[in-house]
Amino acid sequence: MLQLHKINRRCSDCKKVKLLIFFDKTQKRRQCLKCKKSQAEHRINRTPKNYIRNLVVQLRYSRKKQGHKWDISKEEVYKLYLKQGGKCALSGVEMTHIRTHDVEGDTNISIDRIDPEGLYNIENIQLVCKRVNFMKHNNNQKNFLNWVGLIYNNTNNE
């Protein structure tokens, strides 16, 4: 007879009995992967400081992997957030800090290089809404703002 306790485990958080494949094999804790992910998202979303710390760690890792030089600390980015009053440097919209796969997060905090050819250092970054950063893409600030002005003027002349 097959022993159920060898293939199943009860999650310490949600209390559901699940197959062992739904648990992290590297952790001794009896928490299923879904609860572990949910707990991590909650911890990151709790404060702007937590969100920024996570954002810097992830972005630094990916940019260094791409060969970019990274010279910004988590503390510097958080101080910049406070200096900007939690608002997007370009749109003035209050930025959010919601990390989840269910929400688009257009107003989430995003690190933008003012000059995309420049380095990742505190003098060359600003915090903007994620949507603004997507729109700006690889444009330098002056070029991007020029295009925004052209679009605005064209749509307001009607």
Q: Please tell me whether residue 38 adopts helix, strand or coil conformation.
A: helix
In terms of pTM, does the model score above 0.95?
Answer: no
d(CA 62, CA 66): 6
- Quote the Cα angle for 115-85-80, to 5°: 45
Is residue 15 pLDDT above 50, yes or no?
A: yes
Give the pLDDT mean for 59-74.
93
Whole-number pLDDT of residue 1: 45
Q: Please tell me whether residue 5 adopts helix, strand or coil conformation.
A: helix
Is residue 105 pLDDT above 80, yes or no?
A: yes
Our measurement of the distance from residue 146's CA atom to the centroid of its chain's CA atoms, rounded to an integer in Å, reads: 27
Domain ranges of the chain: 8-41, 47-156
Give the pLDDT mean for 138-157.
92
d(CA 63, CA 70): 7
d(CA 76, CA 133): 19
Is the distance from CB of 119 to CB of 67 less than 8 angstroms?
no
- Top-level CATH class of 47-156? alpha beta
